[in-house]
Structure 1
Amino acid sequence: MKMTRSTDYAIRVLIFAASHPTRLVQIQEVATHYDISKNHLMKIVHALSKFGLILSMQGRNGGFRLAKSPDTITLGEIVHLFEEVSYLESVSVTHEDRSLQNTRRAFDQAFSSFKEALSAYTLNDLMAPTRVDGNTT
């Protein structure tokens, strides 16, 4: 699976906001920090606000912040909101065609495991520094 740029940017926006919990973050800050187009980030921030992950304040001193605690926002939730996962959608499975039923079942299980694995990580987990051996420092 290849993650879209929108998902990547959404994760970056949320991590940046989580690492500045005491103030509003401005889109230009995130754009500069990650060297990303401000126009593209505006669309991402709008979507994150619509999904209820950030609160956005308009105006001269506006910006955004997380709408929820970073330990309640999971990587699985973010990916689910921005990625369209489809497989065997156009296949009409009949009772006679067991191989397609088995194939669909295999993909159902694989995607369920994928989502479950991503949902085990919160924004807090993504922000925590780790050593090469995988332990936190």
Structure 2
Amino acid sequence: MNETSAETRSVIVERDIPFPAEKIWRALTQPHLIEEWLMKNDFKPVVDHRFNFRGDWGAVDCEVLEVEPNKTLSYTWAALGLESVVTWTLTPTGAGTHLRMEQSGFRPDQEQAYQGAKYGWQRFLAGLEQVVARPD
């Protein structure tokens, strides 16, 4: 394989959620809420904090890269040979918040991981919307 062709792809999932960014931010950053829609974790919204997500299939090693409350959250996502970055972007809209999730860094030889992420994030975001929609 030619190493110079390090062209990577991203999985992007976008949702318009009829709730304020603060409420979505809580679901993205509070460990007990993250566990409900994603996985068990020891997350803290602190730059350079190392944490992991734990699923039945194994664990994801992560490190927080960027935290801008109610706006942007970014962390590395390393699992099963995949070195990627997950970035959440929250943008206020008239009816609530536009949520964008991008996972970047899929190499051409990681088609299975790419397809799995495309499927997985759709499911995860559906769960996230349910958590956010619950009354406080």
**Alignment TM-score > 0.5, same fold:** no
Query: Of the two, which has the highest radius of gyration?
Result: 1
- TM-score computed with the length of structure 1 as normaliser: 0.29
Greater helix fraction, Structure 1 or Structure 2: 1
- TM-score computed with the length of structure 2 as normaliser: 0.29
